[in-house]
């Protein structure tokens, strides 16, 4: 838990993402900054992306995101899953 300069409690969450095979191929052919899409979604729910990493293996992306509540963190995983480019999203 972290207290911001406004005195609000903020918790950090790790979110791991696995892209669909089709989307992975699309990203290789046409690379793009996915944070440009992710940041507005996260901010709309009162969160902030603190860091993001690409990875090798079964997971493609690791995000560290601050949210004021577990409910907001859970909502972003649902939004990621509804986007159609992920095969699995887990909140850690």
Q: Tell me the domains of the chain and their CATH numbers.
A: 2-91 (3.30.70.920)
Examine the pLDDT at 90 and tell me if it is beyond 70: yes
Q: How far is CA 8 from CA 11, 15, 70, 91, in A?
A: 10, 22, 14, 22
Examine the pLDDT at 7 and tell me if it is beyond 90: no
Sign of CA dihedral 86, 43, 72, 13: positive
pLDDT at 3: 47
**What's the angle, vertex CA 73, arms to CA 89 and CA 30, rounded to 5?**
45
Confidence of residue 2 (pLDDT cuts 50, 70, 90): very low
pLDDT, tens only, 13-72: 999 999 999 999 999 999 999 999 999 999 999 999 999 999 989 999 999 999 999 999
* φ, ψ (nearest 5 deg) of residue 61: -140, 140
pLDDT at 9: 77
15 CB neighbour count, 10 Å cutoff:
21
pTM of the model: 0.84
């Amino acid at each position: 838990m972290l207290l911001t300069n406004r005195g609000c409690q903020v918790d950090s969450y790790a979110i791991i993402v696995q892209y669909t095979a089709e989307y992975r191929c699309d990203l290789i052919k046409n690379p793009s900054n996915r944070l440009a899409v992710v940041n507005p979604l996260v901010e709309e729910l009162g969160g902030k992306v603190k860091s993001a990493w690409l990875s090798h293996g079964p997971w493609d992306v690791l995000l560290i995101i601050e949210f004021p509540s577990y409910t907001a963190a859970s909502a972003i995983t649902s939004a990621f899953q509804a986007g159609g480019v992920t095969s699995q999203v887990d909140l850690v």
